[in-house]
Amino acid sequence: MDLHIHSLHSDGTMSIEKIIDIAESLNLEIISITDHDTISGVQEAINLVKGKKIKLVPGIEINTEYRKKEVHILGYFIDIFNHKLVETIEYLRNERVNRVKKIITKLNQLNISITFEDVLEQSKGESIGRPHIALAMIKKGYGKTVGEIFDEYIDQGKPAYVERFKLSPYDAINLIRDANGIAVLAHPKLVKDEDIVNELLPHVDGLEVFHSEHTEEDSNYYLNKALQHNLIVTGGSDCHGIGKGKELLLGTVKIPKEYISAFEKIYKERERM
């Protein structure tokens, strides 16, 4: 089982088809493609798994901010045709585009010759953002790595940084529930603020206990938290594909069988709804 995968539709490097092919070759029973702030790849994935043994959970990862910390909320079993969800995603997409254009204007003022079309070329999916600006700048010779571009130009406090529109975690939780989904706090260790994690636990349906950047100690710690709050236990690799400075993570996060079985039970219940 791998419930945290990114595709070309956001900041991943693999197509939906390739993700499903690899997941099948790894004998994964359940997967969810959880692109950032978009569901544009979900219908394609639903169509591609028809007739296959692998089960697909419609998913999304919504980027939020709370008390100046990045907090990601995963949504599973969402109704991808829910009006409020579709409307909000479209709004977020437009805000991303506006932000990218403002950053480009600032870069141009710094004598960096880059256009929106250059950035669009790097964004093969819908969720355009700063990583695509960095890739476009690298292509034009303004730096060698994404990290270097961020550090010099587009990270917070740097000359071309532009604040982004932010949903709160509570907005994201409500949005997911409105779309008949279950809301899961993603990679709690990466929130880097246990007070925020503890505040959110009573408000979510699940916790991503098993994650590629959680140590065994982290996973045990968050498993206890999940059990204390009677939360659904989930796990995923947070795979972004190859070429992001990482190896292929798909299917590498080991999730105990009992939690896979528990999630399969939820899957079967949802199928009957």
Residue 66 pairs with which residues in a beta bridge?
69
26 and 150 share one domain: no
The reply to whether 247 and 144 lie within a common domain is: no
In a domain, 46, yes or no: yes
The total number of structural domains that make up the chain: 2
Integer Cα distance of 23 and 52 in angstroms: 11
* pLDDT exceeds 80 at position 48: yes
% of the chain surpassing 90 pLDDT = 86
Q: Give per-residue pLDDT as tens, 62-83.
A: 999 999 999 999 999 999 999 9
Residues 23, 31: Cα–Cα separation, whole Å: 8
Domain boundary among 154, 177, 196: 154
Average pLDDT over residues 184-211: 98
225 is a domain residue? yes
- pLDDT surpassing 80 at residue 124: no
Residue 195 is part of a domain; what is its CATH number?
Answer: 3.20.20.140
Q: Would you say residue 102 lies in a domain?
A: yes
Report d(CA 231, CA 138) in Å as an integer: 43
- Which of 14-28, 88-102, 241-255 has the lowest average pLDDT? 241-255
Q: Assess whether 56 and 71 both reside in one domain.
A: yes
Range of the domain at 184: 2-84+166-272
Please state, in angstroms and rounded to a whole number, the distance separating the CA atoms of residues 263 and 210. 13
pLDDT of res. 248: 79
Confidence of residue 212 (pLDDT cuts 50, 70, 90): very high
Instruction: Give tens-digit pLDDT for 238-251.
Output: 998 876 555 678 99
**Local structure of residue 52 (DSSP, 8 states):** S
